[in-house]
Amino acid sequence: QRNTSSAKMAPTQEKHSSEELLQAQVDLWHHALGFVKSMALKCAMELQIPNTIQHHGGSMTPSELAAKIGLHPSKLPRLRRLMRVLIVSDIFVVHEVASPNKEVAYGLTPTTRLLAIDEVRSNLSPILSLILDSTVTAPFSGMHSWFLDEHSTSLFEKAHGLNVWEMAAQNSTYNQLINDAMVSDSNFLMDIILRECSGVFLGIKSLIDVAGGHGGSAKAIAKAFPQMKCSVLDLPHVVEEAPTFDHVSFISGDMFKYIPPADALFLKWVFHDWGDEDCVKILKNCKEAIPSREAGGKVIIIDMVVGSGPDEIITRETQVLFDLFIMCFEGIEREEHEWKRIFMEAGFSNYKIISVLGVRSVIELYP
């Protein structure tokens, strides 16, 4: 039997060296174990490890950390193993502290600081909590059967019997999870947009944030441009729970039916939720709501343009991974030629892509 196995492996052995075969095995293992890295990050967030370390002055030994987050002493070795994964992944750092037994201490990185609750304007915990929520991760276990299913329901709906928007409308906790995630992302991204792309808002007298949720983006724009009349359009169940902001009004409505008139419309992370046909419907309503280009009318889109942005492997990989992630909800991240097709079909004349937001871009769309 051993000789037969060796004979069967001979062609592979002849084509590839042992080093190449072992590296291929490592590559497969590393790819397959990627979910463990995500779950380790989720665990650290739920144990409040980034916040605990920050509140302790930015550095804690394993035993200090375990005691502070309330772990039983028997879990200390397991905590070290969890943190080792996150250190190798550059989520945390480790350094030696001056002590007789040469203890180590865990510290924060720029990445981890984005998860600390105290950093209100840049706290990304809510959006990561949504991405890593079991309602989102569980459907991917059945992706193969979804591909083989001739019906067109989304991966999310196949798993839960509801699409994501129906679940949000029926489940107030889940609705809050989504809204918190969107506000978190807006707080983080809008600071950068207003710093790097403030010119796109110059001269605008009125702006509507379409499907703007609880108004995180509109609030930031209104603060930066107090002379601008800013409004948020969203579905009634979203507007009902929206907070009150100075200089921002909320409008209950449906972007598929009607968008009120304004000089400019702002849509952040909206189009990736919808297929081409629905996007064209939204865009046609946008075109009807704004004045001509000569009169300053335009649509400002914040979304992903796959292939744009920094030419680095982590950017490209994140873009295509997020595209597969959003496919769970029947969403799509588009390449430039795909954006151009829906823009032209909706009757717009021109557009400009400004790639200064990492994996995402600002798109100025003109009637």
Q: Which residue has the tokens 């982590």?
A: 314
Q: Which of 252, 231, 352, 224 is nearest to 299 (CA)?
A: 352
What gap in Å lies between CA 220 and CA 33, rounded to an integer?
Answer: 39
* Burial call 158-169: b when 16+ CB within 10 Å, e when fewer: bbeebebeebbb
What gap in Å lies between CA 308 and CA 299, rounded to an integer?
Answer: 19
* Catalytic residue (choose from 16, 55, 272, 337): 272
Strand, helix or coil for residue 80: helix
What gap in Å lies between CA 52 and CA 30, rounded to an integer?
Answer: 30
Positions of E strands within 195-245: 206-210, 229-234
What gap in Å lies between CA 52 and CA 59, rounded to an integer?
Answer: 9
Residues 6+ apart with CB under 8 A from 228: 201, 204, 205, 206, 207, 221, 222
Q: Are 216 and 182 within 8 A, CB to CB? A: yes
Kindly state the helix (H) or strand (E) to which residue 136 belongs, with its residue range.
helix 134-137
Is 272 an annotated catalytic residue?
yes
Strand, helix or coil for residue 162: coil
What gap in Å lies between CA 304 and CA 323, rounded to an integer?
Answer: 9
Positions of E strands within the chain: 59-60, 92-96, 104-108, 206-210, 229-234, 248-252, 264-268, 298-303, 305-306, 334-335, 350-357, 360-366
Kindly state the helix (H) or strand (E) to which residue 29 belongs, with its residue range.
helix 18-32
Catalytic residues: 272
